[in-house]
Amino acid sequence: MLEIPETRPLTLSDVTIRLAERTLLAVSATVMPGEVLTIMGPSGSGKSALLAFAGGFLDPAFDASGRLLIGKEDLTNVAANRRHAGILFQDPLLFPHLSVGGNILFAVPPSVRGRETRHALAERALAEVGLAGFFDRDPETLSGGQKARVALQRVLVSAPHFLLLDEPFSKLDTALRQQMRELVFSRARAAGLPAILVTHDSADAEAAGGAVIEIGGEAKP
Ligand SMILES: Nc1ncnc2c1ncn2[C@@H]1O[C@H](COP(=O)(O)OP(=O)(O)OP(=O)(O)O)[C@@H](O)[C@H]1O
């Protein structure tokens, strides 16, 4: 198993996001380690903006207030690259100029020392998701499901403190979608990572098993 050191709750405290004077959303929630908070709502309601706020890369066109905490640590004004957020988008966004293994190695923290140790960690990460032997492959030669698994492992080897999932299953077909949901949520649970999931699909929310916030609506237990 990969070493994931942090297991602290993630808190959105009175987070309000506005665009051109209009309030898009206002959210307060605490996500416990291993839990998934699902955010649903119509297109344009600000779901991706909320994840961008949490990741520290909200476009300056938006006006945000409120706080983001991991445990007691206030991340609100911490730079994106120091938040230890693990982010998955719709697209796996693998680096095309690196091999599959190179994509994983890229994310292994510098604190993991030694070429062989780093290499072994990347090999193990691939094997964990059924991709043993894929290290030297060009990412372009992988299927959509294989790319999605590489993207997940690239996030997990980076030892994130929390996960931000922006419709990560929406480009997969039904069977793969089911598999990836199980994989992502079980890995998040095993690692004790709090996660925020944005989706349009209520089956994703059901599989996530945690609280659901409908933007503009009430939180459901
Ligand atoms: N950089 C930007 N500058 C100005 N407006 C933006 C910018 N990015 C997004 N918007 C607008 O902000 C609103 C919220 O966008 P956001 O992408 O967060 O919505 P969403 O709920 O994630 O939508 P979808 O479900 O379609 O992905 C939308 O009206 C969008 O057009």
4 pLDDT more than 50: no
- Whether residue 46 has its Cβ less than 6 Å from ligand 1: yes
Assigned domain for 180 exists: yes
* Alpha carbon of 62 to ligand 1 centroid (Å): 9
Distance 49 CA to ligand 1 centre (A): 6
Number of compact structural domains in the chain: 1
**Binding site membership of 187 for ligand 1 (Cβ less than 6 Å):** no
The reply to whether 143 falls in a domain is no
pLDDT for residue 68: 98
Host domain of residue 187: 10-95+159-220
Query: Mean pLDDT score of the chain, rounded to an integer?
Result: 93
Reported as a single tens digit per residue, the pLDDT across 7-17 is: 899 999 999 99
49: Cβ below 6 Å to ligand 1?
yes
Mind giving me the DSSP string for 102-161? HHHHHHS-TTS-SHHHHHHHHHHHHHHTT-TT-TTS-GGGS-HHHHHHHHHHHHHHT--S
Look at residue 221 in the predicted model and tell me its pLDDT: 42
ipTM of the complex: 0.95
Domain-embedded: residue 58: yes
Residues paired with 166 in a beta bridge: 198
CATH of the domain at 14: 3.40.50.300
- Which ranges in the chain belong to alpha helices (H)? 47-55, 100-107, 115-128, 144-157, 174-191, 202-208
> Ligand 1 within 6 A of 48 CB?
yes
**Which one of 16, 21, 43 would you pick to mutate in the ligand 1 pocket, going by the greatest count of ligand atoms within 8 A of its CB?**
43
Share of the chain above pLDDT 90, in %: 89
Name the residue at shortest CA distance from atom 11 of ligand 1.
Answer: 44
CA distances from 156 to 21, 27, 46, 88 (A): 37, 26, 26, 10
The whole model's pTM is what? 0.92
